[in-house]
Structure 1
Amino acid sequence: MRWARVAGRTLLVSALLLTGYASAGARAADGPPGTTGRGPVTLATGRDLTGYLQHVLDGWNRAHPLEKATLVELPEAADEVRAQMADSLRSGSDRFDVLNIDVAWTSEFAGAGWIAPVDPRGLPMDRLLDSVKGTATFRGRLYAVPYVTNAGLLYYRKDILDREHLDPPRTWAELEHQAKTLAPKYRIGGYAGQFLPYEGLTVNVTEAVQSAGGGILGGEGSRVTVDSAAAREGLGFLVRGVREGWIPREALRFKEEESRRAFQDGRLLFLRNWPYVYDLASAPDSRVAGRFGAVPLPGPGGPGAGVLGGSNLAVNAHSRHPRTAADLMAYMTGESVQRQVLTEGSLPPVWADLYRDPGLVRRYPYLPVLEQSLKAARPRPKSARYEQVSLAVAAVSRDALALHTTPDEAVARLDRELREIVRDR
């Protein structure tokens, strides 16, 4: 969950808007026996690099002096955030009331019994992007509320393509051809994503497999579906890029920030990354400011199918104040805070209408492209053992991208490893 730094923060929440959601707050289970389920709460999250979340909670606290929310910031790295949350939840601690969790953790946390089911009544579910709703469910039940979302975009050097009288690529073949022919001409790298063996590689490979029409798991983690021609085609596309050189070798060490800096420094023709890159690459100190564009990720025959990122809000199953926690979630998913998510947090909101708001589109011209990408994107493989699934995908894919194994061999090995994980459920 990488959050971009933005300048000029404007507090958008008024007291009237703060109280407007209260009667429609999400209903939650009662607290422990002898309690009302109401009182002070904590919001646990990965490190907030922009400071916008404290502004959000300041608005809540002014309207709820007896039910104040305290922000608890965990480390910046997602794996460390997950580890600290999991350790606390596994022990039955009530230290965290509301958890701001990566969308991929919802199934894992729900399957472990760490987070409580959510009553959708009173939540603005009908105002949210349809694609994000599935990230908050597990085995047909709502366990969280979508809060922010994300989908990968293809950033491209518009100045170079304009000079060559070319449109940005819509297919893998077009991307491959342009990366192979133009990048050497301009002495830059062709294409990069996040190819270091971590969650980012899992996302990149899953996107390639999905774009080719395949999947990793089915049946909410009960079936392994990776052994397919689509999986071999998707992984093969990336492996071919490394082997032929239009994916530079240094990209095998890239996470989000390393790849962003490479593009922003003018060293790449194409980059797959999240929307936060747009603001940073447009900054005055960027070498590509005003010289790049963004389009949906390509696939074999047209636009691809990205992976949904972002985070969901969930209530600790052991919270002493679950009613307040539920109301805080309703407040944070209201329209006013969702505007803050974008304008102060530089994160994509989950409210569908905001992607067509004329004022926001003028300020953030990539919103229509992002909306298109979000509609085509899908959640990551759902599994109560998602961490093990992700580690297997990243490890096997790493060996393929390092050219130690063929795509066919890698898919066969991944199929075996995932079947072991699923069998041990």
Structure 2
Amino acid sequence: MFRQLSIALAVLLAAGCAAAGDEDGGDKGSSGTGPITFATGRDTTAYLQPLLDRWNQAHPAEKVTLLELPEAADEQRAQMVANLQARSTRYDVLGLDVVWTAEFAENGWIIPLERGLFPLDRFLPPVVDTAVYKGKLWAVPYTSNAGLLYYRSDLIKKPPRTWAELREQALQVTKKHNIEGYAGQFLAYEGLTVNFSEAVQSAGGQILSPDGTEVILDQSKARTALDFFVQGLREGWIPKESLTYKEEESRLAFQNGHLAFARNWPHAYGPAMSKLGGKFAVTRLPGPDGPGASTLGGVNLAVSAYSKHQQTAQEFIRYFTSLENERRVLTDGSFPPVWTELYDDPQLIKRFPYLPVLKQSILAAKPRPVSANYNQLSLVIASSVAKAITPPFSESPDDAAASMKTELEEIIRTQ
């Protein structure tokens, strides 16, 4: 009798612990099936519900619920990190910015995935690399991104291939037409880190070593990149207003006819078409001596280490990144897909004329610094660049590059 009471008490205690785990933090490594929650940024969700409905109709016992996080990437990350640090089971599938892979993997917040479960060989190779950390696959590419140069084709006969050509054309068009020259995302936030990284890469440099353990930023390459921005701001073909621009501000300035050139992601193409019609086109970003190297963007899908239903989460990711759904990502959401063959589809190219240029840009693009401390690195880069490019230009490009490298090395030493 005593033994039976002991067993019953142990079962009750175990059930109580399991219930507490569901509320305060799950048992890491669960591989079960059941309902799941998909947490991703609100800026990528407008077209998703039909895709979720198809899954839910086919999987009534494993329904997915969409949880919309803030539009700003920094706020998305903050909410995810708070959830995962609390070991909460609320999130199952995470829509991660491609630069977060290393941080989330290093902290044990997401689980490694089996490569053979996903058709990675049919994805764009650089995109797959953003989901790999220390030789393991930690997420599955869902959307990609690369910066493009938007230009007014009614005002510019031949798009610039070099920074010198961009400068010359921007100066000419500002004199001849009531329009500003060139802008990117120059506010001191992640967008400025991206724009600077692209300039450094286009000049033949890199910020970190491929494994993220060493700062290899060459000061001359950094100075070349900073000089490009400073020269434009001093000469006026980069308007001072652009120092307040994020993606949305630069998109609106271009599509409303205030800019001849703008660096932006592919999502700006549709709105520009609705406003400007056939008066604009896109090309690869220019560089010092020819086409430059964009920075890779996009979203990868990962499974929370604290999810109670990891098997369902992985099956949902397989469904969500299938060829059929990736086509809808483009046609319904206007986001760049990750399947290579979609960029060569004649019907899609007719509808989205930028696809061939975008494919070239993605294949030539570089990832941002790979580090578990990426957020700190980005803050240092953006802050250092802002000091150099903001009037009255109190810090020289050389000084800004030197202090940036010193601060980055300190972060790498302490990680």
Q: TM-score, normalised by structure 1?
A: 0.89
- Report the Cα offset of residue 376 of structure 1: 0.6
1:48–1:62 CA distance, 2 compared to 1 (3 A): farther
Determine if contact 1:106/1:143 at 8 Å carries over to the other structure: yes
8 A contact 2:230–2:388 mirrored in 1: yes
> Counterparts of 2:218 and 2:291 in 1: how far apart (Å)?
23
1:390 lines up with 2:381 in the alignment: no
Which of 312, 324, 329 does residue 312 from structure 2 map onto? 324
2:307 is the counterpart of 1:312? no
Whole-Å Cα distance in 2 between the matches of residues 404 and 356 of structure 1? 48
Partner AA of 1:406 in structure 2: S
Structure 2 Cα separation of the partners of residues 86 and 370 of structure 1: 32
Cα offsets for 1:137-164 (capped at 9, x unmatched) = 11221111110000010000100113xx
**Does the 8 Å contact 1:50/1:344 carry over to 2?**
no
Q: What pairs up with 1:93-132 in 2 under 5 angstroms?
A: 93-132=88-127
1:373 counterpart residue number: 361
Equivalent residue for 2:145, pick from 144, 150, 164: 150
**Gap change, CA 1:348 and 1:112, over 3 Å in 2:** same
Q: In the alignment, is the contact (CA less than 8 A) between 1:124 and 1:333 conserved in 2?
A: no
Q: Which residue of 2 aligns with 1:211?
A: 202
8 Å CA contact 1:152–1:275 kept in 2: the answer is: yes
Q: Give the Cα separation in 1 of the matches to 2:116 and 2:167.
A: 48
Task: Write the distance in 2 (CA, Å) between the matches of 1:142 and 1:64.
Answer: 26
Counterpart in the other structure of 1:411: 401
Distance 1:35 1:112, change over 3 A: closer
* Equivalent position to 1:249, from 240, 247, 250: 240
Change in 2 beyond 3 A, CA 1:373/1:34: closer
- C-alpha deviations, 1:210-232, integer Å up to 9, x for none? 01010111142210112332222
The share of aligned pairs that are identical, in percent, is 56
Residue matched to 1:180: 171
Task: Please show how residues 167-316 of structure 1 align to structure 2 within 5 Å.
Answer: 167-283=158-274, 286=275, 288-316=276-304
Contact 1:43-1:99 at 8 Å conserved across structures: yes
Is the contact made by 1:195 and 1:255 (CA closer than 8 Å) also made in structure 2?
yes
Q: What is aligned with 1:361?
A: 349
Matched position secondary structure for 2:116: coil
State the distance in 2 between where 1:297 and 1:272 align: 8
Q: Is contact 1:199-1:394 (8 Å) kept?
A: yes
Counterpart in the other structure of 1:59 = 54
Check the 8 A contact 2:28/2:305 in 1, yes or no: no
Work out the CA distance in 1 between the residues paired with 2:64 and 2:117: 20
Cα deviation, residue 48, structure 1: 4.5
Deviation of 1:204 after TM superposition, in Å, equals 0.3
Change in 2 beyond 3 A, CA 1:264/1:112: same
**Number of equivalent positions:** 388
User: Cα distance 1:174–1:48, how it changes in 2: closer, same or farther (>3 A)?
Assistant: closer
1:87 pairs, out of 82, 91, 114, with: 82
**Letter matched to residue 260 of structure 1:** R
Deviation >3 Å, runs of 4+: 31-36
Tell me the CA shift for residue 196 of structure 1.
Answer: 0.3
Of 134, 146, 151 in structure 1, the residue corresponding to residue 129 of structure 2 is 134
Q: Which protein is bigger by CA-based radius of gyration?
A: 2
RMSD: 1.5
SS of the residue 1:187 aligns to: coil
* CA–CA distance in structure 2, aligned partners of residues 349 and 34 of structure 1: 30
CA contact (8 A) 1:214 1:228 kept: no
For structure 1, which runs of at least 5 residues remain unmatched after alignment?
1-30
CA distance in 1, matches of 2:119, 2:42: 26
The aligned counterpart of 1:19 is none
**Alignment gaps of 5+ in structure 2:** 1-25
Aligned AA (2:151): Y
Q: Distance in 2 between matches of 1:215 and 1:100?
A: 27
- Paired residue type of 1:413: S
Pairwise CA distance, 1:35: 6.7
Question: What displacement does 1:49 show?
Answer: 5.8
Partner AA of 1:40 in structure 2: P
Distance 1:407 1:129 in 2: 35
Deviates more, 1:326-335 or 1:33-42: 33-42
Seen in structure 2, the aligned counterparts of structure 1 residues 36 and 192 have a Cα distance that, compared at 3 Å, is: closer
| Helix, strand or coil at the partner of 2:362 | helix
CA contact (8 A) 1:41 1:325 kept: yes
Give the Cα separation in 1 of the matches to 2:85 and 2:268. Answer: 35
Question: Are residues 34 and 318 of structure 1, via their aligned partners in 2, closer, same or farther at CA, if it must alter by over 3 Å?
Answer: closer
User: Larger % of helix: which?
Assistant: 2
- SS of 1:52's equivalent? coil
| 2:47 maps to amino acid | Y
